[in-house]
Amino acid sequence: MQRQPGGVGGGQRTDPCAVGVVEVVGYADEDPWGGGGIALRDTGGEGDTPAIVAAWASPADGVAVGRGADISRPPEPLATVNVTGSVMIELAQYETHCLARYSTDGQQWHRLGSPLLVPRSFRPTLVPFTATTRGTVRIKPVSLRQGQSESTPVVASR
């Protein structure tokens, strides 16, 4: 087992089962709810909730994390931080917990809310996304990794 600094169990956890990092570089000026981010969408099909865990950035929410049953839109935020401008967002699953972090400089990372519980049957697919009713939202996928890894996760610098 690989120890992960800042992991769900205070650094005592294994590598994440899935981890995705995106950079939200542009928002839809015409749509305050328009944003972008990364989601872990459940492909287990056992009907357990949540069906989606997502971390995203938008003018209305800042940087947010949430979970929900409807995969067609970001869930209601459970934790938010007021961040404007370009932001990198990381979402990782560690067994039965999902952890979101964000960075405005790609170097210093901050945890976003508490770890979110998911059922053991949760089988995620990483999905970078944008959501807006009008205008354009731009994201850059930085790193997407599914499956167990023996290496320490590395986030590409800008």
In a domain, 2, yes or no: no
Could you tell me if residue 154 is inside a domain? no
Distances (CA, A) of 59 to 35, 100, 157: 7, 18, 24
Total residue length of the chain:
158
Q: For position 147, what pLDDT does the model report?
A: 67
Q: In this model, does residue 148 exceed pLDDT 90?
A: no
pLDDT at 86 over 80: yes
- The pLDDT, as a whole number, for residue 28 is 74
Q: What is the pTM of this model?
A: 0.80
CATH no. for residue 46?
A: 2.60.120
Q: Is residue 12 part of a domain?
A: no
Q: Which of 3-7, 96-100, 105-109, 136-140 has the lowest mean pLDDT?
A: 3-7
What residue type is 93 in one-letter code? Q
Residue whose tokens read 């938010």:
80
Work out the number of other CB atoms within 10 angstroms of the CB of residue 5: 7
- Whether residue 34 lies inside any domain: the answer is yes
Q: Cα angle at 58 between 81 and 30, to 5 degrees?
A: 145
Give the three-class secondary structure for 44. Answer: coil
d(CA 150, CA 49): 29
Q: Work out the percent of the chain whose per-residue pLDDT is above 70.
A: 80
Taking only the tens place, the pLDDT of each residue in 7-46 is 455 555 478 888 999 999 988 777 777 889 999 988 765 6
Distance spanning both ends of the chain, measured CA to CA: 29
Is residue 2 over pLDDT 60?
Answer: no
For Cα atoms 51, 38, 22, give the angle at the middle one, nearest 5 degrees.
Answer: 165
Residue 46, sorted as left (phi over 0), alpha (psi -120 to 50) or beta, turns out to be alpha
Residue 155 has a pLDDT of 40
Give the model's confidence band at 48: pLDDT under 50 very low, under 70 low, under 90 confident, else very high.
Answer: low
- 45, part of any domain: yes
- How high is the pLDDT of residue 5? 39
Judge whether 44 lies within some domain.
yes
Task: Evaluate whether residue 107 is within a structural domain.
Answer: yes
Computed over every residue of the chain, the mean pLDDT equals 80
**What range defines the domain where residue 118 resides?**
18-140
Q: How many domains does the chain divide into?
A: 1
Q: Is residue 111 part of a domain?
A: yes
